[in-house]
Chains A and B, each alone.
Chain A
């Protein structure tokens, strides 16, 4: 079945360091890919998304490119801030024309001042 695998955390970085959180997926069909972020005590919110191969999603300095050949959607940011500390979830949906969204296990990011 469809699945999402993302790197285990926690990831601890100093402010202004570069961030990469790896995400790979298994799916039939042509899914849309998402990164959601969850700040402490809150629900998830969309960070960025890409709906077809080679699309790049971007928001708040974060980027991810839909790579069909490597079935990946890695999240990157060139310079993290303390306010980026959160849990990041990679997700896919619509793989077989259905309505379900499949989430990865989440990666917790800590950014130190």
Chain B
């Protein structure tokens, strides 16, 4: 099991550029999510998905798009990068039983993004 994988590990963008952060998991988890981690602010939820074809917004969705065409993949797209999106991005997945408490989340190693 590779668990949760993320690519790239590091990325530098110029303001206005677009890019996609990749996330994949091989644990057949229904629930996947994207967080950003900023100093002193913990992790903030950007978008999440409870299954293929279903996505929803989290706490800080503006400037980001997601899609979930397969159970395994959950890419995060930055439409027009801004310096405020400089952060470390984590993808996570968990096995969730519909209607029950969320189970343990498994995190990827993160992508460190700098927007100039």
Q: List residues of A whose CB falls within 8 A of some B CB.
A: 30-32, 34, 36, 42-46, 49, 51, 89, 93-94, 97-101, 103-106
Q: Are B109 and A42 in contact (CB under 8 A)?
A: yes
Q: Which 8 A-B pairs have the closest CB atoms?
A: A94-B101, A43-B107, A93-B102, A105-B42, A103-B43, A103-B42, A32-B101, A44-B107
Q: List residues of B whose CB falls within 8 A of some A CB.
A: 4, 31, 33, 35, 40-43, 45, 48, 50, 58, 90, 92, 96, 99-102, 104-110
Q: Are B102 and A105 in contact (CB under 8 A)?
A: no
Q: Are B102 and A43 in contact (CB under 8 A)?
A: no
Instruction: Give the residues in chain A near B40, CB-CB below 8 Å.
Output: 105
Q: Are B41 and A99 in contact (CB under 8 A)?
A: no
* Contact (A100, B58) CB under 8 Å given A31-B101, A32-B101: yes
**Whole-angstrom CA separation of A108 from B99 in the bound complex:** 34
**Whole-angstrom CA separation of A98 from B94 in the bound complex:** 13
Which of the residues B50, B96, B109 comes within 8 Å of A43, measured between beta carbons? B109
* Contact (A46, B100) CB under 8 Å given A99-B50, A106-B42: no
State how many angstroms separate the Cβ of B89 from the closest Cβ of chain A.
Answer: 10
Q: Which of B42, B45, B48, B109 has the most CB of A within 10 A?
A: B42
